[in-house]
Structures are given as structure tokens and as C-alpha cells.
Amino acid sequence: MNTKSVIMALFGPLFIYGCCIELGPKHDPIPPFMSYQELKPKYAYIQAVTVGTLFNDGLDSIACITGYARSAGNHDYKLIIYKQSQNSEIQFYQEIQTKGTYVNDPSSIAIADIDNDNNQEIIVAHSNACVEIFHINDSSLFESSYTISTKDSYALATGDFNSDGQTDLASIGFGTDTLSVWFQNSEHRIDAKPLMIDVTHGGFDALAKGDINDDGMDDIIVMSGQEILPNIGVLLQTKAGYGEPIYCSVGDRILTHGLAVGDITNSGKDSIVVSYGGNSPFSRIAVFTSGSDGTVSTEPSVIYNSIDIPCALSIADINHDGRLDIVVNHAGWNNYGVYTQTSTGVLDEEINTQIPYYGSPINQETGFQCIAPGDFSKSGIKSDIIVVSDVGLAIMRKN
């Protein structure tokens, strides 16, 4: 069995195109490994996608945002929600107009309970303009409830950023060199004024949270995707707040493309993973770890070869072995790859496969949210992968 057949044996894909309601015909398997089902599209360019339990039903749903489609149909700057049924079918649920515009288009999306009401909110960043919050109403529909005006609104992350047991919101703007953190206060409202932190990033940036030094607190990781700057700024949370950023780089004058955080060394500690490089043999995945004393490595702890143009990254247990693996999208090639983690914490060689969909992700070179893991098979493990294309979403289900 060749490398493609190995990874394709893991997944049975279902394809979702645009914001749609009508199911298309089922297709014969694509030789030799894949079959898929189309949904007839309306015209929409999906900018970013995320997954979460939106309806308190224990099932993952999908939320995505659209940009300017350059085609017929009024589906620009929308929030689109797909709901999973009890028999694991993915169904169009709702389309909502956002505050996005051609200049300040939706660029990032998150799902979290940021007001402690036991419901998940959807948070959308409109590039360098505002952050928009959507709540679920009594009719189980999402609606825009308020916005936060800020230039730090290109990339979002949520987590407990002051260790008070409540979910907070962090965001960066496009090359703003600042990070804004909005804490959830004792009244379960987002503070009007954010904590502003200086951290270098030059544009096409990414943001993530994780416990990098294994102290039980959520740290914030900023990736810079443009200009000759340090690739990563790590902000470690302490009982006194956040100190100066710890800057890390993959090398001299090299730009990074994608960012993900998780335990991919089988150590029980989160690592930082970035993608960089163009065509092979100059394409790489770099892993940054911390030492036993919590000191963050400023240079890659290990570097893995990749195929051409590795971009968006995600971390999930793809093969259900209890260890987290890395999924990477390859810009312009309709490909994605998987690095499975071994019991020793070393990653196996990348297994790559082609995605049989039309076009390439519009945001794949610059969009850190072009891949998201979810559970759409009732396995209890987020091992199914959503990939953004220029015409919609491809959901790769694990068999």
C-alpha cells in the first residue's frame, strides 16, 4: 500500500460547497480511495472556518465566514452555520449578515462562551475594524448582539488569560505590533478596555493559545507572516500577568505561513508548530518546545521536511491512537498532508493526498483558519478535518 492509500484509508470525505441547502447527487468513488457528496453552491468565498458545540446537543457544528465572492449572489461578508444532525448529517442552518465590508472583511472566527451563560457565542473579527459577537436567541437562531471597535481585529483566540476560570478574548490586527486581551469580568461581561501588549508582527499573522511552559495557565502565541521580523512571539502567563514576549525564529530572513499549538511530542506539554518555505526541498514544518524548567526554545527543537508550500496547520488525533497529529494544507496543489505522532513523540514522514475539489482555498496562503478538526462521526474524537476551498468546504471524514 503506498503512502496515499494509507492516509486515504483514514478518511471518507463529504464536500460542502458554499452556503447551500440542496443536496447534490452522490458520486461514485474517486479511484481508488475517495467518494464524496456535493451540496449545490450559492456563491461565496469562505475566509475562515471553525468548529464547536453551538446548540448544547453534544454535537459539533460548523461556523464559517465569507469575503467578497466576485460573482453573482449576495453572500458576501456572511456568517454561515452548518448544524450536525443526530445521524451525523451536515445541514445548512443559518446565514447571517455581518458588519464586514470590502475594506474590513471578516478575517477570523472563534466559538466560545464569553459571558458564562452556558451557551457558545460566535466571535468574528473584521480586519482592523472591529470584533463582532453573535449570541443565540430564544428561537435558537444566532444574531449580532454587539461589536468591539479595535484595530486589533485580524486574528482571534479565546482562553482563560488571567486564570480566573472564565473564558477571555484575545486578538491582533494586521501588522499592528500589538495584542489586545479582553477579560471577562465578575459580571460575566467583556471588559470595555482591553489589556494592550506590545508584540511584534508584520501582517498575514496568526494567533493561538496553549500552555507552553506546562504551568497550567493559558499562554498566547503570535505568529508574524510578513516582513523580516521574529517569526513567533510567545507571551507566557504568570500570576502577575504577562511579561515581555519571548521571540523565536525558524531561521534568518524566513517567513512563516501557518501556526498550530498542541502536544505533538508525547510529553504532556504543548509545542508550537509553524510551516514555512516554498517548493520542496525548501518546505518545512518546525516545532518549538520548552525545557523541563519551562524555558521556551527560541530556535526549532526539530524540523520536518514537507512537500510544496505548506500553509495552514491543524492538530488532531487523526488515527485514534491517543496521540495528536499534524494536518497541513499545501497552497495551490489541492493537497493536504498528515504527520502522525509515534509513541516516542517523533512525527512520521508526511503522508500526502490530493483533495478532489474544484479550486484552491482563497485564503490558504494567508489564512491560518483554513483547516479545522471536528467530530462528525460520533467517534468522540475530533479526527474529521474541514478544509476550505474557493467554492466552499470539504469535510474529510474518518471511516
> Do the Cβ atoms of 15 and 25 come closer than 8 Å?
no
Which of 135-149, 203-217, 298-312, 378-392 shows the lowest mean pLDDT across its residues? Answer: 378-392
The predicted-structure confidence for 219-232, as pLDDT tens digits, reads as follows 999 999 999 899 99
Q: Quote the pLDDT of residue 45.
A: 79
Q: How far is CA 136 from CA 56, 111, 133, 139, 357, in A?
A: 11, 12, 10, 8, 33
Backbone angles phi, psi at 135, to 5 degrees: -110, 155
Which of 53-57, 236-240, 292-296, 359-363 shows the lowest mean pLDDT across its residues? Answer: 359-363
Q: Above pLDDT 70, what percent of the chain?
A: 83
Q: How far is CA 26 from CA 15, 29, 205, in A?
A: 11, 9, 38
Mean pLDDT within 124-142: 96
Of 118, 122, 143, which Cα lies nearest the Cα of 50? Answer: 122
User: Hey, CA dihedral for 146, 150, 151, 157, is it positive or negative?
Assistant: negative
User: Hey, CA dihedral for 351, 284, 381, 155, is it positive or negative?
Assistant: negative
Answer whether residue 247 shows pLDDT above 70.
yes
Peptide bond between residue 245 and the one before it cis (omega within 30 degrees of 0)? no
Q: How confident is the model at residue 316 (pLDDT cuts 50, 70, 90)?
A: very high
Q: Quote the pLDDT of residue 7.
A: 39
Answer whether residue 303 shows pLDDT above 90.
yes
Q: Quote the pLDDT of residue 159.
A: 97
Answer whether residue 350 shows pLDDT above 80.
yes
Mean pLDDT within 284-291: 94
In three-state form (DSSP H/G/I as H, E/B as E, the rest C), the secondary structure along 118-181 is CCCEEEEEECCCEEEEEEECCCCCEEEEEEEECCCCCEEEEECCCCCCCCEEEEECCCCCEEEE
Return d(Cα 200, Cα 96) in angstroms, integer: 34
Cβ contacts of 163 within 8 Å, gap of 6 or more: 217, 218, 237, 239
Query: What is the rounded average pLDDT for all residues in the chain?
Result: 84
Q: Is the pTM of this model over 0.95?
A: no
Answer whether residue 131 shows pLDDT above 90.
yes
Which of 24-33, 34-43, 168-177, 332-341 shows the lowest mean pLDDT across its residues? Answer: 24-33
Q: How far is CA 398 from CA 101, 292, 357, in A?
A: 37, 35, 18
Which of 117-121, 197-201, 318-322, 392-396 shows the lowest mean pLDDT across its residues? Answer: 392-396
Answer whether residue 164 shows pLDDT above 80.
yes
Name the range with the highest mean pLDDT among 46-50, 132-136, 347-351. 132-136
| Residue 391 vs residue 381, higher pLDDT | 381
Q: How confident is the model at residue 390 (pLDDT cuts 50, 70, 90)?
A: low
Answer whether residue 389 shows pLDDT above 70.
no
